[in-house]
Structure 1
C-alpha cells in the first residue's frame, strides 16, 4: 500500500510552466505579472453529493479541475495555478493514478500549473483552489448588470442535467444522445476563451453550475436587477432532440446544473461584439432575454407575448 508521500511523489508532482517552485516544499512560489490582479476560487466535490461513489476516476479528475478552472472563465481571468486537497478512504494506487491523470490532463489543456495541495485519509472529498490573473480593473463580476443589458448563454445548457437523470434511472436516453449528455456531465469544458474575449464587453457573468435560473438569480441579486426571459429564444432544440420530451428538456435547460456554460449580460450596443467573439472561438452563444429594473424578478415571455413569473431556483446544498 502506497504511503502519502509516495502517492504525492509518483502521481501529483507534475511539470510546471510558469511557477517558480511547485510540489515538494511547504508552499509554492508564484510570480504574478505586472499590472495583474490575482483571482482566487475554491470548489469542493464530495462523494455522494457531487458525484457517485463509483465514478470513473480519470473523468472525475478532469471534472474536479474543470469545475474550478471554469470559475476563472466566469471572471474573465486567465487560469494559471491550481492546488488540490484530496481525502481518500484508502490508498488505492490505481485509482489515484487515473484520477491524477485526468486532473493533470485538464490542467494541461488550459495552461494551468498544478502546484501542490494535501492528501489525507477520510471520506472521498476533493477540494481544489485555482489562481488566475486578470488585468487590473478588468474582471467581470456578478454585480455589473444594468437594466437594458441583454442576457446570453454559451453552448448547450441542459445536456449535463439529462445525463444525470439518465444515470439516476429517471429517464432513458437513446445511445447517441446518451454519449453527448454523459460527456457534458463528466467532462465539462471550461469556457476560458470566451471569458477572456468578453473582457470589456460583458457587464456581469458567472458559470452555470447550479442551474440557469438559480445562477441568474445570483447576478440579479448582486446587480439589484430583474430579468425577462423570452421562451422563443431559449436554445431548447439540442436538449429536446436528446430527450424527446419538451417538459423534460425545458426543466433541464432552465434548472439543471453542471454545464459550466457562461451566463452573462452585455449592453445592446455590444451585441455584434459578442457574436464576433463567439464566432472567433467557434462556440455558439444564444441571446435569451434582457435585464430589467424589477429587482430580483424573473419573467418568462411566452411565444404569445404573455408574461409569467419564474422562480430563481437552482441546486442549494442547504435548501429544502
Structure 2
C-alpha cells in the first residue's frame, strides 16, 4: 500500500454522509429521531415507574374526591383533629376540615402550578436566549446583563418583602393593586416563571451563537428570511431537546418552590390549598396529629420522585452521552 493510500485510509473524506440509524423492527428503514427517542425510553425502568406514578397522581388529583362526601371547604366541628377513620379517611385538621379532600385539592393546585410555571419559564428562556445569541451586539449585552442580575438576586427574600403588600393589596398603587388581586396561584406562577429561566437562557444563547454560523442558517439569512422565522424554524427546533428536558425537570423544581413558599406562609392562601399549605398547617402538630403532616409529605415525595425519574429517563433518551458521563 502506497503512502497516499495509507493516508486516505486513515483520513477518509469529510463529505461522506453519516448513515442514518436503522429501525430494528424494519431492518432497511431509516429510523426517525422521535422513534429513536421512544425506543430508548421504553427500555428504561425509571421512565415507566415515573410515568405510571405521575399518571396515577394526576388521576387521583382529578377524580380522587368523587367517592368522598366531604370537600375541603366543609368543616366537621365534632371531629376536629380526628385520626383517620371510616368517616374521614385521612383524618381532619385542627378546624375539622377533611384531610383527604385537602390533599386532592392540594395536588391539583401543585400540579397546575408546576405544569404551567415550568413550560412558561422554558419558553421565556428559549425566546430571550435565542434572541441574544442570534442578534448579538447590544441585544446580547442587555439580555446577558439581565440574566446575571436575576441570578444574583435573593429571590426568596424578595418574595418575603413583597408578601405583606400582596396579601394587603389596598396599600398598593392602582396598577399594582389590580395585579395583587389576582388569585394567589397565578402570582406564584408568574414569580416562578420570572425567576426560573436564566440558566437555560444562557445555554440557549451559547447554542444559538454556534448554530447561526451553520450553512442552513446562513442560507436562510441570505435569502431574506426574517429573524423570527429563522429562530422559529431553524434555531429553536435544534435546541428543542434541551428545552424539553428543562421543562420536564422544571416541573419538579416549580412544585418544590411553591411548596417551600406556601410552607413559610408566602404562597397559596386560604381558601385555596396546596401541598405546601397543608404541610404548613400540619407541621405544628406533627407529634399530636402526625397524619396531618405525613399524608401530604408522602404525596409530595411521590410526585417529586416520579417527575425526577421521568425527567432523568427523558434526558438519557434524548442525549445518551449524559448517561455515559454520569457513569
Q: TM-score range by the shorter chain?
A: under 0.3
- Structure number with greater Rg is 2
* Larger proportion of helix: 2
* Larger proportion of strand: 1
TM-score (norm 1): 0.24
